[in-house]
Amino acid sequence: MHILILGSGVLGVASAWYLAKAGHQVTVIDRQSGVAEETSRGNAGMISPGYATPWAAPGVPVKAVKWLMQDLAPLMIKYGELDSNTLSWMGKMVANCNAKSYHINKERMMRLAEYSRDCFKDLRNELNIDYEQRQFGTLELFRSQKQMDGLDKDTQVLRECGVAYRQLNAQECLEVEPALANVKDKIVGGLHLPGDETGDCFKFTTALAKECEKLGVVFKMNTNIQSINVCNDKVVSVTTDKGIYHADNYLVALGSYSTQLLNSIDIKIPVYPIKGYSLTLPIEDESCAPISTVMDETYKIAVTRFKDRIRVGGTAEIASYNLDLDEKRRANVEYVVQDLFPGATDISKAEFWTGLRPMTPDSTPVLGGTKYDNLYLNTGHGTLGWTMSLGSGKFVADIISQRKTDINPEGLSIDRYYA
Ligand SMILES: Cc1cc2nc3c(=O)[nH]c(=O)nc-3n(C[C@H](O)[C@H](O)[C@H](O)COP(=O)(O)OP(=O)(O)OC[C@H]3O[C@@H](n4cnc5c(N)ncnc54)[C@H](O)[C@@H]3O)c2cc1C
């Protein structure tokens, strides 16, 4: 079968890999000159099934109002961008801010993320690719006792899903991340997730695309997709600025831009762009640097160690498709790395980046078939697309190949919004 994949972010390329391995002829189309040039380029680098947590949680609406009034806030809304789409998405997210939905959504995310982490292990055994990978876990760091006290709902799901974790006091946090000894008075405790991994998503996607090419996958870059063309129950072609493409099956992996194209063929997915920022910094003093990922729960910013660099990423901005680099938001990200790891880097050498998380209101991606027989989705991965990439790629490839999926598909398809 010939499969046309729309989008060459980490989700498009992961899908291409598994579809090519299943013996299909695969073509990938993207508007950029290389793969992973949009959201998959500069993310925080966490492969973190343990941290697979929906943003919509009990108490979040109240917290969000407080954040909006706070300096160095994890959340910002550009009020000029508040159109009916944005308000509708926010309403759906608020509707998920209850204990029952949180539990359901977290289980779905973790099911996929844990599976994906296993796929990473298998891939490393199969391919020798370098993406500055490390397997030293995530330390969720708490600066207040209130944060520690609120851990129960998360650890309950971790136990149910069989995910290893350790609740740590301040001293134990320093054993996991010795550089934090310089700021020990700021730490109340932490949650260590030893099964989590880290790595550079851009390097990974680029390397995997090369392996895809060895299997015959064709990448059509600098090609802007203009429409998906349907006739009755089927997609018949895709129109681009470089001509019309035909295939047997079509897979949409366009990240935050999936929504508009699908809307034009009457498929409504609640995927909305949530802007985030990152800094990439060279390590100046290794003894002051983290070993793995430290997730600062107060500011919702992750500090992740690559080989000889640190990636600091986070913050959420509701600003539609705006990609401006806002210096005020940069201050948030800079603050955390300087506050937790003073002396580790030289902030003046930072590379500043922004990307749009393709976010659903329930934080779970939209995977699998649609009302068109030959149109499939692999999008809406929000905060954890790098974490869920290989699992989602394999899952969708199995569905397209009409094989049984390795994990339970319950709640992962578009149908959950129409049930
Ligand atoms: C600040 C930040 C930190 C993050 N940290 C983490 C993390 O630590 N761990 C984690 O797991 N996830 C993280 N994420 C999320 C993760 O980066 C995303 O979920 C993931 O990259 C989404 O991949 P994608 O392939 O769906 O989208 P993209 O990478 O955006 O790929 C979509 C592709 O579609 C192409 N495209 C779009 N429209 C068109 C068109 N009309 N024609 C042709 N091509 C088109 C684009 O060029 C792009 O290449 C973070 C995100 C941000 C913003």
Domain range list for the chain? 52-81+133-197+272-359
Tens-digit pLDDT profile for residues 28-71: 999 999 999 999 999 999 999 988 989 998 888 888 888 777 77
Q: How confident is the model at residue 203 (pLDDT cuts 50, 70, 90)?
A: very high
Q: Could you give the 3-state DSSP secondary structure of residue 333?
A: helix
Is the shortest distance between the CB of 113 and ligand 1 below 6 Å? no
Tens-digit pLDDT profile for residues 118-147: 999 999 999 999 999 999 999 999 999 999
Is the shortest distance between the CB of 45 and ligand 1 below 6 Å? yes
Q: Ligand 1, closest atom to CA 387?
A: 11
Residue 160 confidence (pLDDT) above 90: no
Average of pLDDT values for 194-223? 97
Task: Give percent of the chain above pLDDT 90.
Answer: 86
Tell me what pLDDT residue 162 has: 87
Tell me what pLDDT residue 51 has: 83
Q: Which residue matches tokens 């160690």?
A: 305
Q: Ligand 1, closest atom to CA 226?
A: 41
The CA 159 to ligand 1 mean position distance, Å, reads: 30
Residue 73 confidence (pLDDT) above 80: no
The CA 226 to ligand 1 mean position distance, Å, reads: 19
Hey, what long-range contacts does 118-121 have (CB within 8 A, 24 or more apart)? Answer: 118/391, 119/390, 119/391, 119/393, 119/394, 120/47, 120/197, 120/390
Is the shortest distance between the CB of 74 and ligand 1 below 6 Å? no
Residue 153 confidence (pLDDT) above 80: no
Q: How confident is the model at residue 82 (pLDDT cuts 50, 70, 90)?
A: confident
| Domain 52-81+133-197+272-359 CATH class label | alpha beta
The gap from C-alpha 298 to its chain's centroid, in whole angstroms, comes to 20
Q: What is the mean pLDDT of the chain?
A: 95
CB 272 within 8 A of CB 86: yes
Tell me what pLDDT residue 413 has: 98
Residue 183 confidence (pLDDT) above 90: yes
Q: Ligand 1, closest atom to CA 277?
A: 1
Of 4, 43, 112, 322, which is best to mutate to test ligand 1, by the most ligand atoms within 8 angstroms of its C-beta? 43
Residue 17 confidence (pLDDT) above 90: yes
Q: How many CA atoms lie within 13 A of 393 on its CB side?
A: 32
Average of pLDDT values for 257-264? 96
Closest among 312, 311, 304 to 335, alpha carbons compared:
312
Tell me what pLDDT residue 60 has: 86
Is the shortest distance between the CB of 191 and ligand 1 below 6 Å? no
Residue 347 confidence (pLDDT) above 90: yes
Tell me what pLDDT residue 419 has: 67
Pick the more confident residue, 181 or 50.
181
Measured between alpha carbons, how far is residue 329 from residues 45, 73, 77, 335, 374 in Å? Answer: 19, 9, 12, 10, 42
Token couple for 117 = 């982490």
Residue 374 confidence (pLDDT) above 80: yes
Pick the more confident residue, 72 or 26.
26
The CA 276 to ligand 1 mean position distance, Å, reads: 11
Q: Ligand 1, closest atom to CA 353?
A: 1
